Amino acid sequence: MSKVAVIKTTPDTILDDVKRLMDMADVSSALDSSATTILKNNISWHLMYPSANTTPWQLEGTIQGLQKAGFDDLVCVENETVVTSAKKGEMYNKQRPVCEHYDVPIKYNFKPADMKWTTYQPKADMLVLDDIFPEGIRIPDYFHGKNVVHLPTVKCHIYTNMTGAMKNAFGGLLSNRRHYCHSKIHETLVDLLAIQKEIHPGIFTVMDGTTAGNGPGPRTMIPLRKDVLLASDDCVAIDAVSASLMGFEPMDHKFIRLAHERGLGTGRLDEIEIIGDFDVKNTDWQFSTGDNAASSVGKLFWFGPMKWLQRLMFHTPIVYMFIFASAVYHDKIWYPKEGKKVVKDWLENSEWGKMFQDYEPGK
């Protein structure tokens, strides 16, 4: 039976709580101690916005937990999207200082000096990736033979309703052409999980719900303090539990249901062993994803009446018009008008925000 650890936490106890959480979820058995372990952090937005990105305490606690369990060969791998900058994100979100403090190198899947993209032929039957990329599915050669530890946050997502462990592989394993997959995003996540199970000797997830994101994520959300941490070696199960906490039925999410049906993990809550001190089955945060201005336009072409134009819109240079518009909307319009107020309130009035302002690894 799949197991998910879910515990309460506080700013005063967060690092010890992450290590305790990882022990409860049996990280030692989940990963191969002889292999390098990739820390796959999450930068949904290079700007600091609560609940959008891997937190510094999530990253630091995970590093400490892995070292405590005997995993010393660690590397953090980051990716860029067409609208985010990894190097800005790691600084604005205080991830780089954590890696530097613990001598964990940072590699980038978009830098040829760090890794190369090679064609991979999956053993599992693909649902969509071989059709989306008929010339061959290309993934970073560096990922082969290494453990991966995903570091997502608990938040909603405009295309998948919620995002977590399974969606975290989307940036790491696929190139900047990953937007080709948006119209088949659920099937894509299932294909990627099947590939991960073939190339990684171990997979583990530490999910941060200290501040969770309600609304049109992964960026323009309402951050809410929830003081919860989750961990598991089953990406499907941890996403199912996270969905349930937010008030969603896990199996209503196509990527969870398909992964469950294909034997890649457990999506039914009553088939998951939930351990810890958090009452998951009696929790309902009543989250609702909704849309923002950018997603409303995007969905017209990905899923709506204009989807017959998506190849023209997104597989040709016209896509740069959408990229520019998204960057302007999020960084130049929404963030100055709405986001800055949210960030200021979080930094000044939330205990997590106050800790973030003064956060220094090792202290």
Tell me, yes or no, whether 305 lies in a domain.
Answer: no
Structure tokens at 284: 């309902």
pLDDT over 70, % of the chain: 89
Q: What is the pLDDT of residue 1?
A: 85
DSSP code at position 262: T
Tell me, yes or no, whether 109 lies in a domain.
Answer: yes
User: What is d(CA 170, CA 176) in angstroms, rounded to the nearest whole number?
Assistant: 10
pLDDT above 60: residue 313: no
pLDDT above 90: residue 212: yes
153-167, 232-246, 312-326: lowest mean pLDDT where? Answer: 312-326
Tell me, yes or no, whether 330 lies in a domain.
Answer: no
Reported as a pLDDT band with limits 50, 70 and 90, residue 307 is: low
User: What is d(CA 20, CA 8) in angstroms, rounded to the nearest whole number?
Assistant: 11
By three-state DSSP, how is residue 176 classified? coil
Tell me, yes or no, whether 82 lies in a domain.
Answer: yes
Mean pLDDT along residues 61-81: 94
Reported as a pLDDT band with limits 50, 70 and 90, residue 171 is: confident
DSSP code at position 43: B
Reported as a pLDDT band with limits 50, 70 and 90, residue 327 is: confident
Tell me, yes or no, whether 349 lies in a domain.
Answer: no
Structure tokens at 92: 């604005």
Arithmetic mean of pLDDT over the chain:
91
pTM of the model: 0.93
Q: Please tell me which residue, 306 or 290, carries the higher pLDDT value.
A: 290
Beta strand 106-108 with 147-151 is unpaired
Compute, in degrees rounded to 10, the torsion defined by CA atoms 309, 311, 312, 316: 160
Tell me, yes or no, whether 312 lies in a domain.
Answer: no
Identity of residue 116: K
Q: For the segment 80-107, what is each residue's pLDDT rounded down to a tens digit?
A: 776 678 889 999 999 999 999 999 999 9
When computed from its CA atoms, the radius of gyration of the chain, rounded to whole angstroms, is 19
Instruction: Look up tokens 């204009």; give the residue.
Output: 306
With beta carbons less than 8 A apart as the criterion, state whether 236 and 259 touch. Answer: yes
Contact partners, residue 96, CB within 8 Å, separation at least 6:
90, 106
Q: What is the pLDDT of residue 183?
A: 80
Tell me, yes or no, whether 278 lies in a domain.
Answer: yes
User: What is d(CA 121, CA 137) in angstroms, rounded to the nearest whole number?
Assistant: 7
Q: What is the pLDDT of residue 228?
A: 98
Reported as a pLDDT band with limits 50, 70 and 90, residue 63 is: very high
Q: What is the pLDDT of residue 182?
A: 76
Half-sphere exposure of 40 (CA within 13 A, CB side): 26
Q: What is the pLDDT of residue 15?
A: 98
The string of DSSP codes covering 302-325 is HTSTTGGGHHHHHSSTTHHHHHHH
Identity of residue 54: T
Tell me, yes or no, whether 210 lies in a domain.
Answer: yes
User: What is d(CA 51, CA 220) in angstroms, rounded to the nearest whole number?
Assistant: 10
Q: What is the CATH number of the domain that holds 151?
A: 3.40.50
Contact partners, residue 235, CB within 8 Å, separation at least 6:
150, 164, 165, 166, 193, 196, 203, 205, 259, 264, 265
Q: What is the pLDDT of residue 86?
A: 86
Strand partners, 204: 149
Domain that includes residue 178, residue range:
2-292
By three-state DSSP, how is residue 276 classified? strand
Q: For the segment 115-159, what is each residue's pLDDT rounded down to a tens digit?
A: 999 999 999 999 999 999 999 999 999 999 999 999 999 999 988
Question: What DSSP element (H or E) covers 326?
Answer: helix 319-327
Q: Which among 143, 135, 145, 134 is positioned nearest to 169, based on CA atoms?
A: 143
Question: What DSSP element (H or E) covers 36?
Answer: none
Mean pLDDT along residues 337-341: 95
141-155, 194-208, 291-305, 342-356: lowest mean pLDDT where? Answer: 291-305
Q: How many domains does the chain have?
A: 1
